[in-house]
Amino acid sequence: MERALSRCLLMLMLQMTGKIDGDNQSGVSEFLLLGLSENPEQQRVLFWMFLSMYLVTVVGNVFIILAISFDSRLHTPMYFFLANLSFTDLFFVTNTIPKMLVNLQSQNKAISYVGCLTQLYFLVSLVTQDNLILAMMAYDRYVAICRPLHYVTAMSPGLCMLFLTSCWALSVLYGLTLTLLMSTVTFCGSRKIRYIFCEMYVLLRLACSNTQNIHIVLIATGCFIFLTPCGFMITSYVRIVRAILRIPSTFSKYKAFSTCASHLAVVSLFYGTLGMVYLQPLQTYSMKDSVATVMYAVVTPMMNPFIYSLRNKDMNGALGKLLLGKGFQRLT
């Protein structure tokens, strides 16, 4: 339902900007998503690889959401944001991988112009949402370790819901802004996308109109949307480390740091792969960056459930109760 409404909204926007009419001003009605390889043997390998990764991602994130929902001990701000991060990752991979799997098994690699921009819209919005939720999780750890006496008021349920609503609103607005900008671009000539999904830089390389202004807007807004939360997280963790070093007990230091280790691992993986793709000029962007794109678009959502559950006793307990029920409780 949500995707259908988004498609209708996108169609209306495109009509308003004159991109859909009898003459099709964009010069192209569809693109060809060729993926990472056109070799049939390699495509079969890629199909089973991405299918396995998709299933692991879906199962892992669904288990995280269910475990947090059904275990009252996990009804805290940190796990509230973690459940929403898992939901975002689940939606993110569903936006891209199923279409990729269909293309790997089909001779028809076409994706419509509207379908491509719809995919782009969800891609931008959900990556932005991931970024903002990670910033909120860093703030939660900062308050818990550096301002423990203020934690109840600073991370109250009402404020957490307000933070999350603001994150979604900003993500949706940013996605719509970039999608509207792309709807002004004229495409002609080659319509082959040698990539796994409709991505901003790849589409800009196919444009035959001047995209310099759009690229400037993309870099400027991207720096604000992504580097500001990243700077906020770095500042938070600098203060967290200082607070942990002042703790006299070695065991207490380890316990405090262990609550941040999973989040730090996810942040490093997310920004590391994202930076490899986008922190470069448009002219130098090439297909070798597809490996980094697969990392942030497929591997990162798949790894998040493992990272957050392997060294987290509360999450392990909740998952054990979810999967094994009372039998697990007797064992523990």
Give pLDDT tens digits along the chain (332 positions): 445 445 545 554 444 444 444 334 445 678 888 777 777 788 888 889 999 999 999 999 998 999 888 888 888 998 999 999 999 999 999 998 998 888 888 878 888 888 889 999 999 999 999 999 999 999 999 998 889 888 999 899 999 999 999 999 999 999 999 999 988 888 876 678 777 788 887 788 888 877 788 888 888 888 888 888 988 999 999 999 898 888 887 777 777 777 787 788 888 888 877 777 666 655 555 555 566 677 778 888 888 888 877 667 777 777 777 777 655 454 44
pTM exceeds 0.85 for this model = no
Domain 2-16+30-331: assigned CATH number:
1.20.1070.10
Q: For residue range 193-205, what is the model confidence (pLDDT) as tens digits?
A: 777 788 887 788 8
Rg (CA), the chain: 22
Q: Which of 108, 27, 107, 61 is nearest to 315 (CA)?
A: 61
Q: What is each CA distance from 224 to 128, 241, 280, 292, in whole angstroms?
A: 11, 25, 16, 22
Rounded to whole angstroms, the Cα distance separating 140 from 84 reads: 14
Question: Do the Cβ atoms of 10 and 118 come closer than 8 Å?
Answer: yes
Q: Give pLDDT, residue 273.
A: 74
Question: Do the Cβ atoms of 199 and 274 come closer than 8 Å?
Answer: no
